[in-house]
Structure 1
Amino acid sequence: MTSRADVSGKAALVTGAAAGIGREVAAELVRRGARVVGVDRDAEPLEALRTELDDAPGRFLPYELDLRDVGAYAALLGFVERELGGLDILANVAGITRWKQWHEVTLDDWEQIIEVNARAVLFLTQQAVPLLAKDGGGAVISIASIAGKGFRRTSSVAYAGSKAAVIAMSRVLSSALAPMNIRVNCLCPGPVETGFLAEGMRNFSDRSGDSADIEHEQWLAQVPLRRAAEPIDIADLVCFLAADTGRCITGQAWNVDGGMVFD
């Protein structure tokens, strides 16, 4: 771990908590003493994570939900309030993509990607604001991507569009929610060693005829630090921004990409 930002005792809601970055964000918050409701549409890995975190300083509560069901958000936040007593941290991590070239993207691809990656961020944040403001404010941290800043080798134009929306919404919300002492930031990862990246390398391999390992090497050759991030690198920064260490930071889109983009 690269930082020890103190989130002990804080109440957090993390989406996409069953796998990848979302799983690590939820787990690291619990390891540091936070109480976390982890949301995903896949119940089994959530239960496995709860078992794994049984002896951690914090507490993990799984909640099965498909984030495309906006009408179910009120029940989710009611559960958070009952079980955690309030909310200090909202981490919008859930995300999906389709590994397709621009002319292959279908209307169904577009709608599903936008629904999970962008629409859920707006409407879950919107409904969580009263709970975040209730005890004097908190932090909203959403996962965007360098794809949302125009990185060319992205999974799809729809994914890039959804992540650009997260960046823009985070900036607008940071101003709108500042009077309530709610800080809003987003993170823009480059390649992160998850199943998401592995799927992409297999996809590029199918297109090029090169092995997935070669595709992975070529991808990392674009990174000045010559390595992909690990999920803990993202989780560390989430904790930093959620804790008092981030008390004066809002409206920012943080790159976690080994130096691939500058803006």
Structure 2
Amino acid sequence: MKKKISILGLVFLLIFSFTGCGSKAKDTADYDQATMQNYADTIVQSFNNMTDDDLNRFEDMSDLELNLTLMQSGLPIEGDDFVTMIEAWKAGQKECGALVEVGEYEFTTTNSGAVLTTKAQFEDRDGELSFTFDDKMNMESLTVNADYATSEILKKAGLNTILGMGTVFVVLIFISFIISLFKFIPAIEKKFSKKAKTNNAAPAPAAPAAPKAAPAAPAVTQAADNDGELAAVIAAAIAAAEGTSTDGFIVRSIKRRKSNRWS
């Protein structure tokens, strides 16, 4: 029984030992530094000998065409990463000028891969080139860092501070100007509302014209009509009293007596 326990303990010990060795071997992956430096030198020499048109031609290639070109060149790099490296190189030349020479490479490892760095001399200022690789030694990026003197750093920092503060003040002044215009809003709103009410008000209907009064009949005509009717009535009464018709006499005039009583 004790022998079986000892064997099991030895097996577990070996398993843990292999596990530890495996993780350690993975953490300290073997990199071919010489090969990686050759890749970096190829990129530096190729970019330095290319014109802007040549670099732009690579950027204009399709993904398939660019990947095939890189595969034929033997460079272990993806097309997207290669385009990013071209952009970094162009920005570095704009900042530092054309490359003159590079120094010795320094090799360091990281959790995800390795980094090659070297001092570089450019026409305008010195700088540093940095290449990153993954754990399979595929190139991932290129960085060009310019070396600035302390005076240049302070000057650049001062300019950035002035630019930032100036921008803030300009924005604050603009905001203050906008706020100052708010006092005119009520007057403008009142003006437009009054105009809208005037345009929307319907015209009042005109009062109907008073009917024209009928012309008054002349007094003489009215009197004549009344006398005629009265004469006809009297004639009819006389005819009835005499037992004759109205054809036998004519009533020519009628006169009112001063007294209201008949005589």
* Superposition TM-score tier, normalisation by shorter sequence: under 0.3
Highest Rg: 1 or 2? 2
Higher relative contact order (CA 8 A, sep 6+): 1
State the TM-score, normalizing by the size of structure 1.
0.20
